[in-house]
Amino acid sequence: MNISGTTRVLGIFGCPVSHTLSPLMHNTAIEALGLDMVYMPFEVKPDNLADAVNAIRALNIVGVNITIPHKKSIIPFLDEISNDAKLIGAVNTIVNRKGKLIGHNTDGGGYIKSLGSELGFNVKGKNVLILGAGGAARAIAAGIAKGGACRIVIANRTVERGMSLADGFRSLFRDVEIIATGIKEKSLMRYVPDADLIVNTTSAGMNDKGGVKVPLKAVSTNAVVSDIIYKPRITKFLRNADKLGIRTHSGLGMLVEQGALSFKLWTGYDMPKDIVYKKLARKR
């Protein structure tokens, strides 16, 4: 990759950012397409967020991804946010349009696209069990509800948080049954047998430590068990499901698909996803 006086800059804001695969993903796409751009990681502490946003304009940065802990706190500093970002209440992508900063959220759309591209799975009319009620769960629940799911069950350790998410979405998606429950096995057993898709949005299982406890023997063999964690690519949760003959879906696909949506917003080009996916798979 050659850096010159005409090279345009993309990046990611987060704290920390040392773990992120986004630079590898986007720079692989940039190189494959021969674009005069570079994607850089920027560790931005919460106290410096306003200055970092101003730097996007001052340095004429084309756009940035936003990751933990800034996805919600960055919204007041932006000029405009998309409908998806409003629905989810978080931003993961900023586009700089001649100094006007527009926030988007590609997480939910990326997740739905990854299910379709990898497994041919369509959420329309399906029963979905989501583990967790944080920002990722909200984005994925929004994407699944928009996709026409029949029922969404949000299982969380703090049931009240799950109820808050469910209550907020019921008025927006009146044709979807949205329920909140606890995440203990007794609570899950009520919904696991009928679930067409079970997705872990919690950090349990990251770096192959621990994992979510779901009664997998009660899961239908026609169902899909999904985990948005991509480090490791195949978590203990997915390994256990695979041993029972259940179809599995890892977080790497979501990472690539949400990244591809961001890349298109910034550059106008389609990300060469096959090349990117292979590069990231080798990395993991």
The residue assigned the tokens 């808050």 is 164
Domains 8-105+254-283 and 108-249 share a fold: yes
> Alpha helices of 19-129 — where are they, by DSSP H?
22-33, 49-58, 83-88, 107-119
pLDDT in tens, 36-81: 999 999 999 999 999 999 999 999 999 999 998 999 999 999 999 9
Query: pTM for the full model?
Result: 0.91
Domain at 8-105+254-283: CATH architecture: 3-Layer(aba) Sandwich (3.40)
Mean pLDDT by 10 residues, the chain (284 residues): 92 94 97 98 97 97 95 97 94 97 97 96 97 93 96 96 94 95 93 97 72 90 94 90 96 96 98 95 76
The pLDDT value given to residue 207: 63
The pLDDT value given to residue 235: 92
The pLDDT value given to residue 210: 65
Contact, 93 vs 262, CB < 8 A?
yes
Active-site position among 45, 71, 100, 184: 71
Tokens matching residue 94? 């900023």
The pLDDT value given to residue 19: 86
The pLDDT value given to residue 282: 85
Considering the four listed CATH numbers 3.30.460.80, 1.10.645.10, 3.40.50.720, 3.30.70.20, the one that applies to the domain covering 108-249 is 3.40.50.720
Tokens matching residue 28? 């692989």
- Cα-based angle 70, 141, 167 (whole degrees, multiple of 5): 95
Q: Is 71 known to be catalytic?
A: yes
The one-letter amino acid at 263? F
How far from the centroid of its chain's Cα atoms is residue 186's Cα?
28
How far is Cα 162 from Cα 154, in angstroms, rounded to an integer?
Answer: 6
Please report, for the chain, the start and end positions of each structural domain, with discontinuous segments joined by +. 8-105+254-283, 108-249
How far is Cα 51 from Cα 127, in angstroms, rounded to an integer?
Answer: 44
Q: Is 233 exposed, middle or buried (0-12, 13-18, 19+ CB in 10 A)?
A: middle
The pLDDT value given to residue 209: 66
